Chain A
Amino acid sequence: MKSNKELQIAYGLAIILLVVGVLSYSAFSAKTPDQPVRLMFKCVAGKILFDHKTHTVESGYSISCSDCHHNLEEGETDPEACGECHEPVSQDEDVLGRADAFHTQCIGCHKEAEAGPEKCELCHVM
């Protein structure tokens, strides 16, 4: 193979793949699904990977939306994310801070179902 043919291949590859790459990034960028599959909660005690789908689907724990998203009105299908109200440091006495809200919700429910995890490091990546 002659070197000018190699150059042509390289030019062709660079141009075609640049177009494909730019198109893929602009037109097919990874979209966040309407209902989250998994969520990564970040805090000072290490990240927590929460499998949202396992909690909601019938083959999983089959929990209804309103069990956790407690402010959901009857018939409403678009719950707010927890962090919308539960801020890291709560400004409102009636609203739990983020850590307290998650701990109450997660630990409460898992204890009720007598299911693990029981130790911090089984949820928090430390």
Chain B
Amino acid sequence: MVDNNRFIVSHAPFWHDGSRISTRNYNIAFAAFPAILLGIIYYGMPAVGVISLSISSAIIWEFIFCRVTKRSLTIGDGNAAIIGMILGMLLPATAPWWLVIIGTFVAVIIGKQVYGGIGANPFNPVVVAMAILMISWKDIFDFNEALISYDLDFAMVYPLAALKYFGVSAVDSFSMGDLLMGKQSGGIGSTFGLGLIAGGIYLIIRGIIRWEIALSFLAGIFITALIFNMADSAQYAGPVVHLFAGYTLIGAFFLATEDSSSPVNFIPMLIYGAGTGFLAVLIRNIGVYVDGVIFAILIMNLVNPLLDKIKPKAIGKVA
């Protein structure tokens, strides 16, 4: 039985409930703060430079685009700032200034604005930018090489690179606790697992991201890594490394869940999340790239319109 009361709508005038896009984006910034803070503690002022330049240049690119195309100014909604912030979190602390500026240009202009701005982008703008940067300047994203002068109190080896090139025994020394506490080299804001999980749970509770996507993504990673590990534990690492190293957690809570490039219905969300996790581990284990999260999300963004075709049947009938 359809609950008829649910479809009764009062007539105009309506009252706006006061929610704004900017509030959502301020919440995302708040959720990302712990992960960024630990990155700054570890990598110092160069990390502050990358994050600051990334946020400001993303806002400036959007400002320039709006002015050039004579559209209304949208920088106030905070979306450009969030794009810059998340891009900065993925970069190594030693990223040169020009890479940051090119990255935010690709993300804001090519990833978002050319499609018509916020809500119209088929791909996550940050993921588009990262994919282009990682392919174009792969040495900068070799975290072992990028962070060569940093002497921190943990093994400064990028776990996924060690796993890919030197096998499972090379990542035995990484305990789950170390990985969760950010004791691993990587992007500025992508290594502090606990901070990212806390931020993600906050965003889920506030209703800003969907738990279905985040959780199914992590489940996809876990199950695929487990299957590989069970098939050949000498060659493929267990799920713990895959879950807590590389871009997995930032991908689960800050990248895959981006509004306009992810599905809206329950089943599609599960397929989208699990598919992304599956592809990420597939690329890591048998692909040529060290980390597959970025490319996996990009591919599943592409599948997203198809997934959204799986939808509930419309209520009612033609008389």
Pairing of A with B = yes
B window 141-171: CB within 8 A of A: 142, 144-145, 148-151, 156-157, 161, 165-166
- Report whether over half of chain A's contact residues are helix, strand or loop; otherwise say mixed: helix
Q: Known: A7-B75, A14-B59. Is A32-B149 also a contact (CB below 8 A)? A: yes
Q: In the complex, which residues of chain B have a beta carbon less than 8 angstroms from the beta carbon of A37?
A: 148-151, 156
B20 close to A (CB within 8 Å): yes
A-B contact count (CB 8 A): 112
Proximity bits, A27-53, B CB within 8 Å = 1, else 0: 111111100111110000001010001
B60 on the interface (CB 8 Å rule)? yes
Question: Interface segment, B3-11, B43-51, B115-123?
Answer: B43-51
Nearest A residue to B72 via CB reads A3
Interface residues of chain B: helix, strand, loop or mixed (majority): helix
Interface size class of A (residues with CB under 8 A): 35 or more
- In the assembled complex, the CB of A3 is this many whole angstroms from the nearest CB of chain B, namely 6
Residue of B nearest to A39 (CB): B148
Q: Is the CB of B97 within 8 A of A25?
A: yes
Residue of A nearest to B23 (CB): A1
Which of the residues B46, B94, B142, B157 comes within 8 Å of A24, measured between beta carbons? B46
B55 interface residue, CB < 8 Å from A?
Answer: yes
Which of B76-84, B129-137, B228-236 is found at the contact surface with chain A?
B76-84
User: CA A7 – CA B74 in complex, angstroms?
Assistant: 8
Least CB distance from B118 to A in Å reads 13
Smallest CB gap from A123: residue in B: B166
